[in-house]
Amino acid sequence: MQGEEDFQAVFVDLAPLVAHVGQNKIRLRRASAIRQKGHYRDKAFMGRLRAQAEEYGFTIEFHQNGRIVATDATCAQIMTALLDHRLSSAFSAVLLQRLI
């Protein structure tokens, strides 16, 4: 994913996230799932993430240009948000899609 322009464009700097994942098998699997789902390619998803991250208890920092500022403290949260493992998610509007 580090080589994907779409993924790179989401972050100010990928280095903290790359270090967080490292060779950890669970984190590598999660990274693979993030790539497969591709929510980071969806502008609407990313906009909702920026707008509602704090409401969901995330302390993810966003640069003024909208890109994610990955830090050691927020890498796990970033991965959780991009996985979007929720029955109801304001980021991807999953519950709305199921009700329609």
pLDDT at 99 exceeding the cut of 80? no
Reading the block at residue 85, the tokens are 């493992």
Reading the block at residue 41, the tokens are 């390619």
Q: What is the pLDDT of residues 6-45, one digit of tens each?
A: 999 999 999 999 999 999 999 999 999 999 999 999 999 9
User: Residue by residue, what is the 3-state secondary structure of 10-62?
Assistant: CECCCHHHHHHHCCCHHHHHHHHHHHHHCHHHCHHHHHHHHHHCHHHCCCCEE
How many Å apart are CA 89 and CA 49, to the nearest integer?
10
Q: Looking at residue 69, what DSSP letter applies?
A: E
Place of tokens 């699997």: 29
Return the domain boundaries, the chain: 5-99
Summarize the confidence of residues 68-83 as an average pLDDT: 96
What was the pLDDT predicted at 91? 66
pLDDT at 98 exceeding the cut of 50? no
Place of tokens 């999660």: 30
Q: What is the pLDDT of residues 42-51, one digit of tens each?
A: 999 999 999 9
What was the pLDDT predicted at 94? 54
What was the pLDDT predicted at 97? 47
* Nearest Cα residue to 1 out of 35, 26, 36: 35
At 1, is the pLDDT very low, low, confident or very high (cuts 50, 70, 90)?
confident
What was the pLDDT predicted at 44? 93
